[in-house]
Amino acid sequence: MTRVVAQGTFDILHPGHVHYLQDAADMGDELHVIVARSVNVTHKEPPVVPDEQRREMVAALKPVDQAHLGHPEDIFVPIERIEPDIIALGYDQHHDDEQLEAALSARGIDCDIRRASPLEAEAADRLLSTGRIIDRIVDERSE
């Protein structure tokens, strides 16, 4: 059995998230998703939706076998517990593959790192990022 881990913030779910998780699920037999805790999101604006609610929403998605909250101090703790064969990164996630491989190796975690494919917008008004969804809400609701 091939166990895959995907990870992300998953704030305000959108079709890009679903595509990423389906791509990740297709890489193996069992998909575990690690939902980042708000305190660990430092590369972009913090999530709007609370941690546990984001985890619950991800857990409800068809491709997901199990959804976990990330560790508050050490992002590798859940990975060590899950023991994945593959870590599936989103096509545009900020992680440096080589640095991630080195960090995993230093912790004795032996798994492949793969990137999911991008989801092409079929229409100009399709919202494929949480930031674009928030911007649209602010633009349309602030008067």
Kindly report, residue by residue over 89-136, the tens digit of the pLDDT.
998 887 888 898 999 999 999 999 999 998 876 656 777 778 788 888
DSSP per position, 3-64: EEEEEE---S--HHHHHHHHHHHTTSSEEEEEEPPGGG--SSPPPSS-HHHHHHHHHTSTT-
CA distance 79 to 107: 10
Query: Does 16 carry a binding-site annotation?
Result: yes
Query: Does 2 carry a binding-site annotation?
Result: no
CA distance 121 to 73: 36
pLDDT for the residue numbered 41: 86
Query: Does 43 carry a binding-site annotation?
Result: no
Query: Does 76 carry a binding-site annotation?
Result: no
DSSP category for residue 136: H
The amino acid at residue 1 is M
Domains and CATH numbers, the chain: 3-141 (3.40.50.620)
pLDDT at 87 over 90: yes
Q: Which of 45, 15, 23 is nearest to 91 (CA)?
A: 23
Residue 137: strand, helix, or coil = helix
Taking the model in full, what pTM does it have? 0.89
CA distance 19 to 27: 13
pLDDT for the residue numbered 124: 63
pLDDT at 51 over 90: yes
Query: Does 125 carry a binding-site annotation?
Result: no
97 token code pair? 């593959």
